[in-house]
Structure 1
Amino acid sequence: MAKQSAKRIAQENAARLALMSKLLVGVNGFYLVIRLFFQYSTLGWGETLMYLVTLLIELLLYRSLYMTSRPRYDTTGALVDAGTDLSQPGLVSYMFDYIYISWFVHLLSLVTRWAWMVYLAIPAYLAVAFGPSAMRFLGIGQGSGGRQEQGEVTEEDAAREKKRREKKERKQQRVKYARG
């Protein structure tokens, strides 16, 4: 049963990467044909440099996705590891998001030069998504942090801490299942 899941993941990864490679070549080929043959007079060094840098990052991310999602087989041809599941959330989805944003910007930049400003959405999203965590990690903007540093712990804080400890103990007592 576990091998069926690994085979399914390997097949889905292969199909997704095949589609990605076709889109990668198609979008960038379309951009280059339009830009070089029909809009060459409007092409400047800045825009060329932006395209090359974003294309390089796009290719590096695609290569990374390709390498991590490759299935591994033993000498008999049996599947050992299906590779990273490309449908999982987290870093993999952020890599896909960057590639999709790059394609959107490349196509939109054929219409307007302001399309490159869409890349500002990436650091804005990172600030919104990870800003609060970074602020807590750095200790910036904690309203009750001053009281705790002085040793004054309120009853509410003590109750919250007790609940947190009890929940952690309950979690440790659960049976954990390992993927085989």
Structure 2
Amino acid sequence: MANQSAKRIAQENAARLALMKKLFLGVNGFYLAVRLLFQYSSLTWGTILLYLLTFSLELALYRSLHTTSRPRYDSSGILVDAGTDLSQPGLVSYMFDYIYISWFVHLLSLVTRWAWWLYLAIPVYLAVAFGPYVMQFLGIGQGTGKQEEQSMTEEDAAKEKKRREKKERKQQRVKYARH
């Protein structure tokens, strides 16, 4: 039964990678064909550099997804490891998101050169999604004791003082030991 799940994951990964390969070749082939055949006059070094940079990162992520999701078989052909599940959340989904954004930007950049600015959405999203974790890790934004005391109301301060006094009185009591 457990092997059925691994086989299902391997089949789903293979199907998803086959679709990704078709889309990868289709989108980038279409971009290059239109850019070189019909929009050659608007081709600049900046556009070439942006495309090569984003394409190389897109290719690296695709290759990473391909290698990590590849199933492994033993010498008798039995499935040993299904590879990384491509439908899992986390880093894998972020890799897919970057690839999808790249395809969208590449196609939209055929219409307007301002489409390249959409890549700024990636660091903005990362800052919003992971900013609180990073700030907490670095200790930024956490209140200190002095700030907390200043923010206390007089009523809270009086209650806190009573609690401290009661605790001190309790500690000063003589305790009798039983033998």
| Cα distance per residue 1:43-93 (max 9 Å; x no partner) | 000010000000000000000000000000000000000000000000000
What is the DSSP-based 3-state SS (H/G/I as helix, E as strand, rest coil) of the residue aligned with 1:80? strand
Matched, 1:14 2:14: yes
2:145 equivalent in structure 1:
146
| Cα distance per residue 1:9-43 (max 9 Å; x no partner) | 00000000000000000000000000000000000
Find the aligned partners of 2:145 and 2:78 in 1 and give their Cα distance.
59
| 1:146, distance to aligned residue in structure 2 (A) | 3.4
1:42 equivalent in structure 2:
42
1:127 equivalent in structure 2:
127
Report how many aligned residue pairs link the two structures.
Answer: 152
Rg (Cα) greater in structure: 2
Matched, 1:96 2:101: no
Structure 1, unaligned stretches of length 5 or more? 156-180
| 1:138, distance to aligned residue in structure 2 (A) | 0.5
Which amino acid is 1:4 matched to?
A: Q
Find the aligned partners of 2:25 and 2:12 in 1 and give their Cα distance.
20
1:60 equivalent in structure 2:
60
Which amino acid is 1:67 matched to?
A: T
After TM superposition, the score normalised by the length of structure 2 is 0.81
Find the aligned partners of 2:29 and 2:126 in 1 and give their Cα distance.
30
User: What fraction of aligned residue pairs are identical, expressed as a percent?
Assistant: 78
2:76 equivalent in structure 1:
76
After TM superposition, the score normalised by the length of structure 1 is 0.81
RMSD value, Cα: 2.0
1:23 equivalent in structure 2:
23
1:169 equivalent in structure 2:
none
| 1:147, distance to aligned residue in structure 2 (A) | 5.1
Q: Where has structure 1 moved over 3 Å in runs of 4 or more?
A: 145-148
